[in-house]
């Protein structure tokens, strides 16, 4: 019986560009989820899902998505793959599935992608489905979009499946072609310090969907398939053609964010990692002022990191809370952490959680008992 493990992620740069067919540059984390799929004991005819983080198992009859029962949301990320495979004509037998995750939930580190991707890899292996990279990605994205109903853009699943240690993953979210780009922090004496602000994710689901609908509406008004198709050189013209100030701000964020991803990829390809800081910071300013998805806690962390010597800092993930990353010289990490904690205390925010992160491998088979690397 094989244990499969898939990681959470941090997005280095490229936020809310994935569902605009644009570019993203995430990396996989060491924290992740393990999944084991086994044939159910003789006599049981359903699907049983157990999570080490949940008090009760979920047991359902075998069925397709059209008759998906009312089950706890966490289990939809697991059962969703079974429902979709059944809808696609796979005769999925009775199974026992066990998952165990060490990705913090609600922190914007893609605990859901880690769960979906570990289960999909384990199912592919156990049922001998022979899914290739593209089919695995499509299945995991469809679970989140169709079985869970979250209108997300696919970046999280792509990097959880394909991430590589020591590298960020440059993803073209139109073609879903990916390329590993070196992100050797240690060689440059740099650290990515992560602040989990623990800010409550108020309205994040509704606001995410509203941003996505706004971007799609702007693309329709501009007569392009997606905002990816607005060239940076045509941005001013595109902005002049839109009456709605909110849509103009969305377009400016997405078009400039795609450019920032491309500029960071160029610098990393040339071995100029210490120079990416300004693009990270510009990304944060764009999310704060144009896309308007930051909250006071993340802005406070970003400001404190800069004052403590960060080369660049930004919120990472979907927004409205979650985590902030700071790119710091190794020797500034301790003081930067103290600065963030002090700024939170001064502002009356709850205590943040701080940890460092480096690029780890994507989904893979691991030895039984593995948690972390
Ligand atoms: C969330 C979504 F799941 C991703 O698809 C992406 O849109 C991200 O927010 C914002 O860049 O993580």
pLDDT digit string, tens, across residues 236-269: 999 999 999 999 999 999 999 999 999 999 999 9
195 lies in the same domain as 251? yes
pLDDT range class, residue 74, cuts 50, 70, 90 = very high
Query: Rounded to the nearest whole angstrom, what is the distance from the C-alpha of residue 257 to the centroid of ligand 1?
Result: 14
Domain that holds residue 328: 183-357
Pocket test for ligand 1, best of 141, 318, 322, 325 (most atoms within 8 A of CB): 318
Find tokens 């949940």 and name the residue.
54
What's the 155 CA to ligand 1 centre distance in angstroms? Answer: 6
Is 307 within a domain? Answer: yes
Closest CA to 160 of 1, 24, 263, 356: 24
SS3 content of the chain, % helix, strand, coil (to 5): 45, 20, 30
366 inside domain = no
Do 169 and 263 belong together in one domain?
A: no
Residues whose beta carbon lies within 6 Å of some atom of ligand 1 = 11, 15-16, 18-19, 152-156, 317-318
Which CATH number does the domain housing residue 336 bear? Answer: 3.30.70.890
The residue with greater pLDDT, 200 or 324, is 324
Instruction: Give every CB contact of residue 296 below 8 A, 6+ residues apart in sequence.
Output: 199, 347, 349
User: Any alpha helices (H) in the chain, and if so which ranges?
Assistant: 73-87, 111-126, 133-142, 155-162, 204-222, 235-240, 245-269, 277-286, 296-307, 333-347
**Residue 155 and residue 223 in one domain:** no
Inform me whether the pLDDT recorded for 106 exceeds 90.
Answer: no
Last residue within a domain, chosen from 135, 166, 181 = 181
Q: Would you place residue 372 in the very low, low, confident or very high pLDDT band (cuts 50, 70, 90)? A: very low
Smallest CA-to-CA distance from 124 within 141, 137, 111, 142 is with 137
| pLDDT of 370 higher than 80 | no
Same domain, 68 and 190: no
In this structure, the answer to whether residues 195 and 153 fall within a common structural domain is: no
**Does residue 372 belong to any structural domain of this protein?**
no
The answer to the question of residue 120 being in a domain is yes
Distances (CA, A) of 187 to 101, 166, 191, 274: 30, 10, 10, 11
Nearest to 31 by CA among 16, 45, 10, 49: 10
Interval 273-288 mean pLDDT: 98
Q: Are 16 and 215 within 8 A, CB to CB? A: yes
What does the mean pLDDT of the chain come to?
96
Q: What's the pLDDT at 1?
A: 80
Nearest 5 degrees, angle CA 157-CA 97-CA 26?
15
Together in a domain, 206 and 66: no
66 and 199 in a single domain? The answer is: no
- Residues contacting residue 221 through CB under 8 Å, at least 6 positions apart: 241, 242, 247
What does the alpha-carbon distance between residue 160 and residue 90 come to, in Å, rounded to a whole number?
24
For residue 128, being part of any structural domain is answered with yes
In a domain, 370, yes or no: no
Centroid of ligand 1 to alpha carbon of 110 (angstroms):
9
End-to-end CA distance of the chain: 19
| Cβ-based neighbours of 99, under 8 Å, separated by 6 or more | 33, 34, 35, 36, 49, 50, 51, 52, 78, 115, 118, 119
Q: What is the mean pLDDT of residues 137-152?
A: 96
Catalytic residue among 124, 142, 156, 196: 156
pLDDT of residue 369 exceeding 70: no
Q: What percent of the chain has pLDDT over 90?
A: 94
- 187 sits in the region (left: phi over 0; alpha: psi -120 to 50; else beta) called alpha
Among the listed residues 283, 304, 354, the one whose alpha carbon sits nearest the alpha carbon of residue 107: 354
> How many domains does the chain divide into?
2
Domain assignment present for residue 317? The answer is yes
CATH of the domain at 55: 3.30.230.10
Nearest CA to ligand 1 atom 9: 318
Q: Is the predicted pLDDT of residue 63 greater than 60, yes or no?
A: yes
Are 128 and 276 found together in one domain? no
Q: Is residue 98 part of a domain?
A: yes
Backbone angles phi, psi at 142, to 5 degrees: -65, -35
Domain boundary (181, 200, 215) is at: 181
Alpha helices in 48-184 (DSSP H): 73-87, 111-126, 133-142, 155-162
Residue 119 and residue 98 share a domain: yes
- The predicted-structure confidence for 188-226, as pLDDT tens digits, reads as follows 999 999 999 999 776 567 999 999 999 999 999 999 999
Does the active-site annotation cover 236? Answer: no
User: Looking at residue 202, what is its pLDDT?
Assistant: 63
- My answer on whether 176 and 263 are in the same domain is no
Residues 145 and 230 in one domain: no
Judge if 192 and 100 occupy the same domain.
Answer: no
Residue 44 CA, ligand 1 centroid: distance in Å: 38
- 107-118 pLDDT per residue, tens: 999 999 999 999
Rounded to the nearest 10 degrees, the angle between the axes of helix 333-347 and helix 296-307 is 140
């Amino acid at each position: 019986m094989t244990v499969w493990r898939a990681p959470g992620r941090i997005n280095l740069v490229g936020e809310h560009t994935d569902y605009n067919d644009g570019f993203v540059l995430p990396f996989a984390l060491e924290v992740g989820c393990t999944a084991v799929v086994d044939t159910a004991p003789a006599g049981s005819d359903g699907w049983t899902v157990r999570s080490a983080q949940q008090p009760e198992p979920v047991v359902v009859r075998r069925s397709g998505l059209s008759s998906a029962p009312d089950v706890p949301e966490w289990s939809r990320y697991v059962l969703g793959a079974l429902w979709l495979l059944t809808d696609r004509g796979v005769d999925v037998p009775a199974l026992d599935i066990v998952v165990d995750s060490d990705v913090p939930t609600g922190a914007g580190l893609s605990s859901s992608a880690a769960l979906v991707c570990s289960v999909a890899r384990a199912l592919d292996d156990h049922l001998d489905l022979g899914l290739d990279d593209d089919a695995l990605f499509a299945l995991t994205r469809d679970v989140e979009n169709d079985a869970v109903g979250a209108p997300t853009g696919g970046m999280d699943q792509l990097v959880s499946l394909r991430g590589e240690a020591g590298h960020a993953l440059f993803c073209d979210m139109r073609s879903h072609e990916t390329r590993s780009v070196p992100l050797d922090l240690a060689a440059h004496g740099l650290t990515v310090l992560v602040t989990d602000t623990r800010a409550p994710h108020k309205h994040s689901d509704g606001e995410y969907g509203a941003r996505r609908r706004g971007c799609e509406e702007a693309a329709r008004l501009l007569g392009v398939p997606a905002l990816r198709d607005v060239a940076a050189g045509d941005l001013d013209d595109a902005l002049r053609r839109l009456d709605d100030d909110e849509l103009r701000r969305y377009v400016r964020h997405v078009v400039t964010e795609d450019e920032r991803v491309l500029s960071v990829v160029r610098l990393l390809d040339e071995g100029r990692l210490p120079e990416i800081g300004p693009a990270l910071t510009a990304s944060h300013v764009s999310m704060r002022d144009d896309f308007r998805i930051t909250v006071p806690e993340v802005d406070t962390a970003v400001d404190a990191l800069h004052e403590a010597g960060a080369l660049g800092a930004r919120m990472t993930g979907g927004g409205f809370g979650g985590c902030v990353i700071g790119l710091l010289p190794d020797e500034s990490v301790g003081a930067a952490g103290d600065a963030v904690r002090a700024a939170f205390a001064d502002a009356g925010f709850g205590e943040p959680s701080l940890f460092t992160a480096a690029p780890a491998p994507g989904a893979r088979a691991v030895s039984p008992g593995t948690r972390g690397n």
